[in-house]
Amino acid sequence: MEGYYFGKHEQIDEGGMGLKEEGWEKAGRRKAGRGEAEQGETQRGETLMIIMDIKADNLYALKKFHMNMSYPKKIVDSTIPGEYLAEKPNFRYKKVNIIMGGNATGKTSLGKLLMIFANYFKDGNYKYFINVVNDKTREAVLSIDFVTNREFFYRFALCIDANKNGDYQESDIHIHIYYTNIGKKDNYETCAKRIDGMNCQETTYDKINTSGWYFSYPQDAWKNKTYSSIEDDDNYLYILEQTLKTLDPSIKEVIKVSEVDNTYAIKLNNHSVIIQDGKIADTEILSSGTKAGLDISYIIASLVCDKHDLYYCDELFSYVNSDVEKACLSIIIEKLTEKKQLFFTTHNVDILDMQLPKHSFTFLKKDLSDEELCIKCINAAEFLKRNTDSLKNAVENDLFCTTPELHRLYDIAEL
């Protein structure tokens, strides 16, 4: 396990069949490349993982789900530069993916499925996928296209056979990983077409290094939550202090306790809150929004320090003021340098006012009338073609039919 950071979030149990609330490997630390002299430096291009396409069926509540992260043509004067592979400008990918939708539309499930996928490359344990099969009488399918460096395009293909008793054996799990070179003029579609036609090669999980990722979920209710930190970088302390002071003006300063490893003190007017090894000593003093600032600080600092390449932030700002969320998101996007990718879920419609490309926005919708495709993935750019089209007006007028039905709540008022 050397080279990985273990966050206290969720973990596969000893039998590999279920999820626990603690111990899950949520962050893959970037491994140092050969010949590197100093700890913390990384060899760029060795550990990144850019997600290009996701297809999932019968996993969690996802049925025939499809989300694509390529986009058709270069946007002039885009507010998000570099949405393509270096030296391969035709291979475009969505660097920023803002995912919106009502409750129970699959935003968290999508992130957890990607997290299971990323963890699979740690040890090749197929049991990671078994517990998230929704209907065991049907087969479950997962296909993810991804890039790990500028030369290769991969497809992870999983099929779990139907097993009504749920006592899956290794023979029920079929996993193939195909790959092809990315040519200088290739785009996503040409690479995917080669793999569709089996004009490609096959490899195994242990030949692929995908450790550069980080997943964050809202877990304020868990008093035993462990927060990530970057102890060996002065930028982290500065970012932590500035973020927490913005969220809570009563915070006087944040200091590193030199006498104890990985320990910080948050000084308020009449109290000091100690955070040791990612654990808050007294969880009742800090507000939910301030505690969220610990995760926010780590994500911004890890971008500054080049710790990870793929980020999935699920409702990270649920307890945070809208203006603060917009400011932090703009910083995160600014720090998304070459070969990085962000998935960001939110309910905050004020995010629509940010000057981001329309292809950056995806809306998830649950349609119970469609048993075959109950969770639909809607790409805003497919509906709004003109530069003058207002994304916020489209949402406020429910163009994507994602507004929750409120009539049942209003029926309560008739009691």
User: Max Cα separation, the chain?
Assistant: 72
Please say if the pLDDT value at position 19 is more than 80: no
DSSP 200: S
Greater confidence, 192 or 31?
A: 192
Please say if the pLDDT value at position 111 is more than 60: yes
How far does Cα 63 stand from its chain's mean position? 20
Weakest mean pLDDT among 22-26, 165-169, 194-198, 407-411: 22-26
What is the per-residue burial (b if ≥16 Cβ within 10 Å, else e) of 256-291? eeeeeeebbbbebeeeebebeebbbeeeeebeebbb
Query: In 132-252, which ranges are continuous DSSP H helix?
Result: 188-196, 234-247
Q: What is the pLDDT of residue 28?
A: 58
Q: What is the pLDDT of residue 212?
A: 80
Rounded to an integer, what distance in angstroms lies between the CA atom of residue 209 and that of residue 220? Answer: 32
245-287 pLDDT, tens digit per residue, is 999 999 999 999 989 999 999 999 888 999 999 999 988 899 9
Rounded to an integer, what distance in angstroms lies between the CA atom of residue 54 and that of residue 155? Answer: 10
pLDDT band at 405; cut points 50, 70, 90: confident
Rounded to an integer, what distance in angstroms lies between the CA atom of residue 143 and that of residue 182? Answer: 19
CA atoms within a 13 Å half-sphere pointing along the CA-CB vector of 140: 24
- The pTM (predicted TM-score) of the whole model is 0.87
Q: What is the pLDDT of residue 203?
A: 95
Please say if the pLDDT value at position 36 is more than 80: no
Work out the number of other CB atoms within 10 angstroms of the CB of residue 253: 12
333-391 pLDDT, tens digit per residue, is 999 988 899 999 999 999 999 999 999 999 999 887 777 778 999 999 889 988 888 99
The token pair at 300 is 């911004």
Q: What is the pLDDT of residue 402?
A: 87
Rounded to an integer, what distance in angstroms lies between the CA atom of residue 353 and that of residue 394? Answer: 12
- Packing angle of the helix pair 234-247, 322-334 (nearest 10 deg): 160
Sign, CA dihedral 127-132-135-140, equals negative
The pLDDT of 44-52, averaged and rounded, is: 69
Query: In 13-143, which ranges are continuous DSSP H helix?
Result: 107-123
Weakest mean pLDDT among 203-217, 238-252, 283-297, 320-334: 203-217
215-230 pLDDT, tens digit per residue, is 988 664 455 788 889 9
Please say if the pLDDT value at position 72 is more than 50: yes
Work out the number of other CB atoms within 10 angstroms of the CB of residue 20: 12
DSSP codes, 160-184: E---TT----GGGEEEEEEEEE--T
Q: What is the pLDDT of residue 29?
A: 46
